[in-house]
A and B are shown apart, each in its own frame.
Chain A
């Protein structure tokens, strides 16, 4: 396949970036999008140019590192896939492909296609945990009966890999889907329920502090989420949050 790539190049977080055009040929339609990027980088290095910086790690769709906005869509045109699981057969020979980093004030570009997602880490640190004594006599988690439905819903929420496609695709740069998934994965389970009120309030507070936008229920996040996290979790978080703020004494 021969392709024209329009790639966002930005030297560092302070530099003003711009789109650069590259021609690339001989790409196999069986290669993944990241492998195509590898070929591009090999060529750039051979030509003595700076390779394109992009995030990647497991390349099997579970780590949440890859993060490209491809042809106007987070993780490209395929549904339910990360960029690493996107294959070149999803494109046609001769296509022009735009490749940009996630765009959000809270996820600033570090270089080229790499963004700083530590805002997500700080939200997680604000409440994305349970407090358990792990001194050696920890109770077996399976000793507590949990309804199958609740376990399934907690698991579906926990499928979130924190890639931030939800923020990238949302016209408001809202992180609600991510935070809702992280809140729900604990609150559905008895182990997480005890701290549920503090958790939801603290995580939402941190989310707001990070400067993410407000959700307007367009539903773009749900469509683009590579893990299929449902808007149901956002509604659930809204309920949890309002209940918690009404009840909490501080």
Chain B
């Protein structure tokens, strides 16, 4: 059965909001690495890895990513097809902002980052196993001794923030939540959320880089 365009938008919005909730959880747990004791983060990581509900949620999360990415690609292909000939001269910057126009580009970059990120952590923790005498905390923190790696992560977080800035408020519009009274609030929360995510993750990465380098 071919889904209608509005249902597709709904699926995009729902899966997006689900990933938005995941990201904030991820940020909260990662921020525990800022504590002076390694145990706090290690305990949280242990809980996340062993709790049966959270274990099951891993699959739901993977499904959320697959649906959101798959649908995003499908929508983009359809949308490109809907205009077989491009304008010779088109000034899209006059009526839209960059983050809303470049969702597939920012999304694509996030996928590339996601692949790198899964290789760095998920794959190491699940399949390779931690080296003798090290903890989850060490795995997270050690990566940020490399300045290039730290830079790649920070750039990815900024791109993610751009993606979220449109995505958050767009999800509400797609699901029919457009109300004069609440629109300003949705917009503020959307911007605040994307800044918190981009800045939060970046801060953690930069903190560990500086903490382990000899510059200070």
Q: Interface size of A by Cβ–Cβ distance < 8 Å?
A: 47
Flag whether A30 is at the interface (Cβ < 8 A): no
Q: What residues of chain A lie closer than 8 Å to B8, measured between beta carbons?
A: 214
Cβ–Cβ contact B95 & A220, under 8 A: yes
Contact of A98 among B79, B89, B95 (CB under 8 A): B89
Cβ–Cβ contact B5 & A220, under 8 A: no
Flag whether B7 is at the interface (Cβ < 8 A): yes
Q: What residues of chain B lie closer than 8 Å to A237, measured between beta carbons?
A: 6
Cβ–Cβ contact A219 & B9, under 8 A: no
| Cα–Cα, bound, A235→B88 (Å) | 32
Q: What residues of chain A lie closer than 8 Å to B83, measured between beta carbons?
A: 103-105, 171-173, 213
Secondary structure call for the A interface: mixed
User: What is the CB-to-nearest-CB distance from B86 to chain A, in angstroms, rounded to a whole number?
Assistant: 7
Contact of A173 among B79, B90, B97 (CB under 8 A): B79
Flag whether A106 is at the interface (Cβ < 8 A): yes
Q: A100-B87, A231-B178 are known contacts. Are A214 and B79 too (CB-CB below 8 A)?
A: yes
Contact of B91 among A73, A105, A176, A218 (CB under 8 A): A73
Cβ–Cβ contact A174 & B82, under 8 A: yes
Contact of B10 among A205, A212, A238 (CB under 8 A): A238
| Cα–Cα, bound, A93→B86 (Å) | 28
Cβ–Cβ contact B100 & A216, under 8 A: yes
Cβ–Cβ contact B170 & A216, under 8 A: yes
Cβ–Cβ contact A169 & B82, under 8 A: no
Which of A45-53, A59-67, A191-199, A239-247 lines the interface with chain B? A239-247
Q: Interface size of B by Cβ–Cβ distance < 8 Å?
A: 40
Cβ–Cβ contact A235 & B6, under 8 A: no
Q: What residues of chain A lie closer than 8 Å to B118, measured between beta carbons?
A: none
Q: A105-B81, A105-B83 are known contacts. Are A208 and B5 too (CB-CB below 8 A)?
A: yes
Q: A98-B89, A220-B96, A223-B95 are known contacts. Are A242 and B173 too (CB-CB below 8 A)?
A: no
Contact of A241 among B4, B75, B79 (CB under 8 A): B4
- Taking CB as reference atom, which chain B residue is nearest A169? B95
Residues facing B in A214-233 (CB within 8 A) are 214-220, 223-224, 231-232
Q: A213-B78, A238-B175 are known contacts. Are A8 and B88 too (CB-CB below 8 A)?
A: yes
Cβ–Cβ contact A104 & B82, under 8 A: yes
Contact of B89 among A77, A100, A104, A224 (CB under 8 A): A100
Contact of B5 among A104, A204, A219, A231 (CB under 8 A): A204
Flag whether B174 is at the interface (Cβ < 8 A): yes
Q: A174-B79, A214-B8 are in contact. List 10 more A-B contacts (CB 8 A).
A: A69-B87, A100-B87, A103-B85, A204-B6, A214-B9, A215-B5, A220-B92, A231-B178, A238-B9, A239-B176
| Cα–Cα, bound, A205→B81 (Å) | 18
| Cα–Cα, bound, A73→B95 (Å) | 9
Residues facing A in B172-213 (CB within 8 A) are 173-178, 180
Cβ–Cβ contact A105 & B84, under 8 A: yes
Cβ–Cβ contact A236 & B96, under 8 A: no
Flag whether B126 is at the interface (Cβ < 8 A): no
Flag whether A164 is at the interface (Cβ < 8 A): no
Q: A219-B100, A235-B173, A235-B178 are known contacts. Are A242 and B7 too (CB-CB below 8 A)?
A: yes
Residues facing A in B81-138 (CB within 8 A) are 81-92, 94-97, 100-101, 103
| Cα–Cα, bound, A19→B177 (Å) | 43
Cβ–Cβ contact B101 & A218, under 8 A: yes
Cβ–Cβ contact A72 & B90, under 8 A: yes
Cβ–Cβ contact A218 & B4, under 8 A: no
| Cα–Cα, bound, A249→B89 (Å) | 47
- Taking CB as reference atom, which chain A residue is nearest B86? A103
Contact of A216 among B7, B94, B103 (CB under 8 A): B103
Cβ–Cβ contact A235 & B177, under 8 A: yes
Q: Which of B5, B9, B174 has the most CB of A within 10 A?
A: B5
Q: Which 4 A-B pairs have the closest CB atoms?
A: A72-B91, A235-B178, A239-B176, A213-B82
Q: A103-B86, A171-B101 are known contacts. Are A242 and B96 too (CB-CB below 8 A)?
A: no
